[in-house]
Structure 1
Amino acid sequence: MTRVDALVIGGGPAGLMAADALLSEGRRVLLAEAKPSVARKFLMAGKSGLNLTKDEPSEAFHSAYGGSEPSLRAALTEFGTGAVQHWAVGLGQPVFTGSSGRVFPRAMKASPLLRAWLRRLDGMGLELRTRWRWQGWDGAVALFETPEGAQRVTSGATVLALGGASWARLGSDGAWAPVLGALGVGLAPFAPSNAGVLVDWSSHMTRHFGAPVKNALFRAGAMANRGEAVISVRGLEGGGIYPLTPALREGHGLTIDLLPDLSTGALAARLSARPRGKQSLSSWLRKTLKLPPVTLALLQDCARPLPVTPEALSSILKALPVPVAGLRPMDEAISTAGGLRFDALTPDLMLTARPGCFCAGEMLDWEAPTGGYLLTACLATGRQAGRSAAGWLNRAP
């Protein structure tokens, strides 16, 4: 039997931040992680450039989380975009802001930041246990399956930061849901978020796999997002598509405005000003509108046979319907919607069904697009859960 002040289960950004907050209050903290090392999804996400947060006014930032539950909004107010940047700098990782407002560490990668953070936590006395998989509770005792056999831990407070249900190989497998569900805790079904879409391309698209569709406006239902998406073997993926996942989940169709800087009328006028003559339709469009090969191929694959009048062609170019066959599987999504409902928690993120147990990170039922919002909310709720757990310990007899 191991006894500690506080037990943190889950070694992603939310769990590490909760441990940081508890250690800062002078508490003895044990952090248990099921994988052989911590923050695997964090490291994977940072391979192509770690997007820490988004530098924008608070109201615009909060709006990215939809309605934003009061508990989530409070956590983000306490630890928002400015605080995230200050935190990274405090770990010896200077940051910079790109033209889109996205904030990155100058090193770009996640590994230098994680190493500095773990050194800090180790210096504060964190007891880290890897390959410890949580099995639930036996009364007040937390149970773990480990390479050394069954382990039992008692603590004055617990923080669960167990992740969502995407990227199971990196630790976010949603296996905690049945344990909490058995306690009668309210759970929203998991669903893919920030996911690519499935499209059954014709064989003509094969040579364009890996090519980006740039500077387009993607629409689904009432949602729209300007960016780019990559043609893949299985469909479309990328920052232009991901924010539309909520609308696509609801069954709304996907359209692409291939020339968002031109109105339909201006586009029709440009096509009318240059008669097609004996040119092929593709050659005429390429020369007249300077469309790249991937855009022409996409146009032909999604809307063949193409209309020939400038007006009808303009309408297709401004709202190309993509025959989406569904979203990529949840385990391939960047994040998930659903999880632990906020009405199962007190305002300070404590489970009403289990006093002294606090929850944080992607296991909570919130959703946000990529662009720094996901990581910021994980850090903010982890900090809030850790601070709340410390307050619980301070009030305990």
Structure 2
Amino acid sequence: MATSSDSPAVVIGGGPAGLMAADALLSAGVPVLLAEAKPSVGRKFLMAGKSGLNLTRAQPFGPFLAAYGGAEAALRPMLAEFTPETVQDWAAGLGQTTFAGSTGRVFPTAMKASPLLRAWLERLEGMGLDRRTRWRWTGWKAGAVCFETPEGPRRLMPPVTVLALGGASWARLGSDGAWAGLLADEGIKVAPFQPANAGLCVDWSGHMAPHFGAPLKGIALAAGPLTSRGEAVISARGLEGGGLYPLSPALREGAPLHIDLAPDLSAGELAQRLGRPRGKQSLSNHLRKVLKLSPAARALLMECARPLPDDPARLAATVKALPVPHKGLRPMDEAISTAGGVPFAALDEALMLRARPGTYCAGEMLDWEAPTGGYLLTACLATGLWAGRHAALRALGA
């Protein structure tokens, strides 16, 4: 087994957090070897960009930070240093202009991840990045960082190491969570992985089949203490979509889901409209005319609340808080992201593992979660930058 005692800093993981850590180290003058287990870097990043790469969210810092829930305090210093505005400046520095949509979501003008990733890799390689693919990290041995590589086992003795290994969803793209066992072998407890930003399992009756793939627009959703305004899609397996994802923490714990099909109208206004004479027309047609409910929304109402109450006030209350029975979130490998990972208590303020001085952690492998909408990628970049800068200070003896 080849061993090197004169190694550059090692970054393990070629996603956004790992690339940003490498960028920070190289910018400080520290040589970097980037090890990626897959044949290429940025695979999940590129997949996310297929539907338009949501880089960040243009909103005041307070509401932005609040999206990180229980990890808000831990992530505050990193996000304060790499804010949504900084993300946009960073992209512009790579030649990628951005724009903000009506909801504040920020996208590259190109609406793709590939031009940004290509420009970033060119920049890193211009600074001397040593990029190795098909290098799978296998843990530590006698102080060395060990890998299985196409050329056989390798051991490195870097001055610092940054782990940016991702969560445990989308295993085929590299985020398989297998690293948790390697940390456990070192006595580092990892919070169990759980699905986040995932679809919801609902057992529909045959009545719903014609509406599979139909969107539920302009709705509000609630589960436990969490609420969301957005859109969901009815699928054969249940519900999916950005309006649902912010409720993942509560739904994961079994909280019931309620949907407001008419969030812009009060219960009183709904009751008044529902109380209008409907003559011989069906209740479904009446709902369409007086409430402007879509076919999908009417079907959901019938599915979850039949027989509908005749009393306008009771029916209005049902429309405002329709209970949708569910069986929890979809499996973890179908989730966009995961909760769980390395607890912040296992790290110091520099994101260095207390149990392994000189080893830092960044990105989705940390124990935090956030909804889609730019929050996930911003925190991955911010923690990667933070870990990389602090690793550089240690490597340089500062």
Give SS of 1:298's match: helix
Name the counterpart of 2:382.
380
Q: Is it true that 1:176 corresponds to 2:210 in the alignment?
A: no
Q: Which residue is equivalent to 1:311?
A: 313
Deviations 1:262-281 (A, max 9, x none): 11111000111x21222221
**1:341-392, Cα deviation, whole Å (9 max, x unpaired):** 0110110000011010011000001111111111000000000111111011
User: Offset of 1:196 from its aligned partner?
Assistant: 1.1
* Structure 2 partner of 1:226: 229
State the Cα distance separating 1:148 from its structure 2 match.
2.2
Alpha-carbon distance between aligned partners in 2 of 1:344 and 1:186, rounded to the nearest angstrom: 8
- Aligned residue pairs: how many? 395
Change (3 A) 1:318 1:69: closer
| Rounded Cα–Cα distance in structure 2 between residues aligned with 1:23 and 1:236 | 44
Matches within 5 A, 1:319-330: 319-330=321-332
Q: 1:79 aligns with which of 75, 79, 82?
A: 82
Q: How far 1:69 sits from its partner (Å)?
A: 5.2
Residues 286-315 of structure 1 show CA distances to partners (whole Å, capped at 9, x for unaligned) of 122222111111111111121122112111
* Other-structure match for 1:102: 105
Take 1:34 and 1:143, find their aligned partners in 2: how far apart are those partners?
12
Deviations 1:32-52 (A, max 9, x none): 001111111111111111111
* Match of residue 195, structure 2, among 192, 195, 198: 192
Output the CA distance in 2 between the equivalents of 1:47 and 1:132: 26
Task: For 2:365 and 2:289, locate their aligned partners in 1 and report how far apart those are by CA, in whole Å.
Answer: 51
1:266 matched residue in structure 2 = 269
Residue 365 of structure 1 corresponds to 367
Using the alignment, how far apart are the partners of 1:219 and 1:336 within structure 2? 20
Runs in 1 of length 4+ with deviation above 6 angstroms? none
Q: CA deviation at 1:121?
A: 0.6
Q: Of 265, 283, 286, which aligns to 2:285?
A: 283
For residue 7 of structure 1, what is the amino acid of its counterpart?
V
Distance in 2, matches of 1:204 and 1:51, equals 35
Preserved contact between residue 71 and residue 348 of structure 1 (Cα < 8 Å): no
Alignment partners' CA distance in 2, 1:258 and 1:276: 20
Is it true that 1:152 corresponds to 2:155 in the alignment? yes
Aligned-pair distance for 1:147? 2.3
Equivalent position of 1:389 in the other structure: 391
Matches of 1:166 and 1:214, distance apart in 2: 27
Q: Aligned partner of 2:128: which letter?
A: G
Q: Which amino acid aligns with 2:225?
A: A
Q: Secondary structure at the match of 2:327?
A: strand
**1:340 is matched with which residue: 316, 339, 342?**
342
Q: Does 1:117 align with 2:117?
A: no
Q: How far apart, in 2, do the equivalents of 1:281 and 1:70 lie? A: 50
1:292-303 paired onto structure 2 within 5 Å:
292-303=294-305
- Structure 2 CA distance, aligned partners of 1:303 and 1:76? 43
- One-letter code aligned to 1:269: Q
Partner of 1:213: 216
Correspondence for 2:14 among 11, 16, 40: 11
How far apart are 1:145 and its partner, in Å?
1.3
Secondary structure at the counterpart of residue 230 of structure 1:
strand
Amino acid at match of 1:8: V
Q: Does 1:252 align with 2:255?
A: yes
Q: Which of 240, 244, 267 lines up with 1:241 in the alignment? A: 244
2:62 corresponding residue in structure 1: 59
Name the % identity. 68
Question: Aligned partners of 1:133, 1:20: CA distance in 2, in Å?
Answer: 21
What letter corresponds to residue 292 of structure 2 in structure 1? K
How far, CA to CA, are the matches of 1:255 and 1:232 in structure 2?
17
Give yes or no for the alignment of 1:34 onto 2:41.
no
- Partner Cα distance (2:73, 2:305) in 1: 45
Determine the structure 2 residue equivalent to 1:142: 145
Separation (CA, whole Å) in 1 of partners of 2:283 and 2:99: 45
Alpha-carbon distance, 1:94 to partner: 0.4
Amino acid at match of 1:208: H
Equivalent pair of 1:200/1:235 in contact (CA under 8 Å): yes
SS at match of 2:281: coil
- Please give the secondary structure, in 1, of the residue aligned with 2:297: helix
Matched residue, 1:22: 25
2 CA distance for matches of 1:123 and 1:139? 33
CA contact (8 A) 1:43 1:110 kept: yes
Amino acid at match of 2:216: V
CA-based RMSD? 1.2
Instruction: Spell out, residue by residue over 1:101-160, the C-alpha distance to the aligned partner (whole angstroms, 9 max, x if none).
Output: 111110011111000000001111101111111100112211111222212222110000
**CA distance in structure 2 between the partners assigned to 1:282 and 1:160 by the alignment:** 56
Contact 1:6 1:28 in 2 (8 A): yes
Contact 1:18-1:384 at 8 Å conserved across structures: yes
**What TM-score do the two structures reach when normalised by structure 1?**
0.97
**Alpha-carbon distance in 2 for matches of 1:309, 1:72:** 49
Unaligned runs of 5+ in 1: none
Please give the secondary structure, in 2, of the residue aligned with 1:244: helix
